[in-house]
Structure 1
Amino acid sequence: MLKKVAAVSLLVFAQGVWADIAVVVHPSNGASLDQNAIKKLYLGKSKSFPDGNSATAVNQDGTPAFDEFNDKVVGKSSSQLNAYWSKLVFTGKGTPPDKLANDQAVIDFVAANPGAIGYVSAASASDKVKVVATF
């Protein structure tokens, strides 16, 4: 019995580790985004989409999608990202993206704000938002 519980737990954990992340924008947003453009938005190095429209990036707060996005897209661990933003905030050179609670909160925010960009687990993406990249 203990082996079965351990096997199921391992499968659930492994599935979460390999989950795809979908980067989402408002359905009216026509911008084309690659990984580098997305990374710049999330590191505060850019404040607009490639087409020139203003962008508002939102993060998730402590979710598996947060860790997966940071690893696959931004290329930093959570602690590296926290240190990065702490330095920028302390020097007055930047403000990190607002944090939302979960996939649904990101979808709701992006659907209501034409300049927003966020990320969710790919399985959570809905027709309320437009998926522009999957990692």
Structure 2
Amino acid sequence: MMDRIRLLHRTCALLLALAAADASAELVVIVSARSQAPALNGDQVAAIFLGQSGRFPGGLEAVALDQRLGSPERDGFYQQVTGKTPALLKAHWSKMVFTGRGQPPREAPDSASVRRMVAENPSMIGYIDRAALDASVRPVLVLR
């Protein structure tokens, strides 16, 4: 009887984990609806968010805006776009700051804040949950 209960608990835990993974947010990289920035590929977005480029293709200034540290959106974004875990990202920025080559992007608390700030500044680029999209911003890259 105890074996059946354990098996039932494990099965329930597995189903919950699968449901949570399925419900994970689809992220979009956004710019202001007023921005002239073109659609971007993952390498271009990674270069901007890792401080390796401060410009969009074509030369316009690009200012990256992060979600808050530890948020699932931030962790998912960096894992998908750069392949970096939070620990690797911290090491990257420690090196960049120490060598004087850059500062990490400014942070906003959530997708709504990122959307609002990006909409107000055509130089900004951020990432949000796809469900938070509206006409004030436009996607330049969809992450799946």
Q: What TM-score does the superposition give when structure 2 sets the normalisation length?
A: 0.83
**Deviation string, structure 1 residues 63-122 (Cα, Å, up to 9, x no partner):** 111011011112101110011001111121110101111001100100110100000011
Q: Give me the identity figure in percent.
A: 36
Q: How many residues get paired? A: 133
In 2, the alpha carbon distance for the partners of 1:75 and 1:108 equals 27
Structure 2 segments unaligned to the other structure (5+ residues)? 1-7
Is 1:39–2:46 an aligned residue pair? yes
Go from structure 1 to structure 2 and tell me whether the alpha carbon gap of 1:13 and 1:133 turns closer, same or farther (over 3 Å shift). same
Structure 2 counterpart of 1:69, from 77, 93, 108? 77
1:15 deviates by 3.3
Once superposed, what is the RMSD of the aligned Cα atoms?
A: 1.9
| Runs of 4 or more above 4 Å deviation | 5-9
User: 1:102-121 residue pairs with structure 2 within 5 A?
Assistant: 102-121=110-129
Structure 1 counterpart of 2:36, from 9, 12, 30? 30
Look up the match of 1:20: 26
In 1, the alpha carbon distance for the partners of 2:75 and 2:131 equals 16
**Deviation string, structure 1 residues 21-61 (Cα, Å, up to 9, x no partner):** 10000112232211111010011110011021111100011
8 Å contact kept, 2:32–2:120: yes
Is 1:126–2:143 an aligned residue pair? no
